[in-house]
């Protein structure tokens, strides 16, 4: 089950999975404190097994686009390859369909690119290193659901 969760819920998972060698506070970003930021958790047997967050943040290549940034996407290893990551991304996209967001973007770890591309994201530019977390790509996706909601059907 995918549900909205709190920042403290996602920080625990982010810390354990994304930045275990840093303090938990290193997983908190400025967008986490934006009033429109939303956090989603995948819950199995009353335990949060995966998380993702999003909130308004300018796209580095074009700050004229109304963009939201995906942050802190992580699923515990024993729950991967079960559709949980895809379900988290779907919940996030559904939420964004009701916003002014035109583009969803992230700095994605190269090890997770397959999950992102299967969900409709595309790479933007070359890979780059973000020490100490490793190689990343900028990924992005147009918010086509927003267009459909505005027009009442698929955007042509």
* pLDDT (0 to 100) of residue 90: 92
Q: What is the pLDDT of residues 4-35, one digit of tens each?
A: 999 999 999 999 998 888 888 888 998 899 99
* pLDDT (0 to 100) of residue 69: 94
50, 79 in Cβ contact below 8 A? yes
pLDDT at 107 over 80: yes
* pLDDT (0 to 100) of residue 44: 96
pLDDT at 114 over 80: yes
Q: What is the pLDDT of residues 131-153, one digit of tens each?
A: 877 888 899 999 876 554 444 44
101, 147 in Cβ contact below 8 A? no
Model pTM score: 0.85
* pLDDT (0 to 100) of residue 145: 63
Residues near 128 by beta carbon (within 8 Å), at least 6 away in sequence = 135, 136, 137
């Amino acid at each position: 089950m995918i549900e909205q969760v709190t920042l403290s819920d996602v920080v625990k998972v982010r810390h354990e999975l994304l930045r275990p060698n840093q303090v938990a506070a290193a997983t908190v970003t400025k967008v986490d404190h934006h009033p429109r930021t939303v956090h989603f958790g995948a819950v199995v047997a009353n335990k949060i097994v995966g998380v993702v967050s999003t909130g308004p943040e300018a796209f580095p290549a074009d700050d004229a686009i109304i963009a939201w940034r995906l942050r802190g996407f992580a699923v515990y290893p024993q729950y991967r390859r079960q559709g949980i990551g895809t379900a988290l991304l779907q919940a996030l996209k559904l939420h964004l369909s009701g916003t002014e967001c035109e583009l969803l973007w992230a700095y994605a770890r190269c090890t997770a690119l397959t999950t992102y591309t299967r969900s409709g994201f595309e790479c933007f530019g070359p890979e780059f290193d973000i020490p100490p977390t490793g190689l990343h790509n900028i990924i992005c996706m147009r918010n086509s659901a927003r267009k459909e909601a505005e027009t009442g059907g698929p955007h042509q």
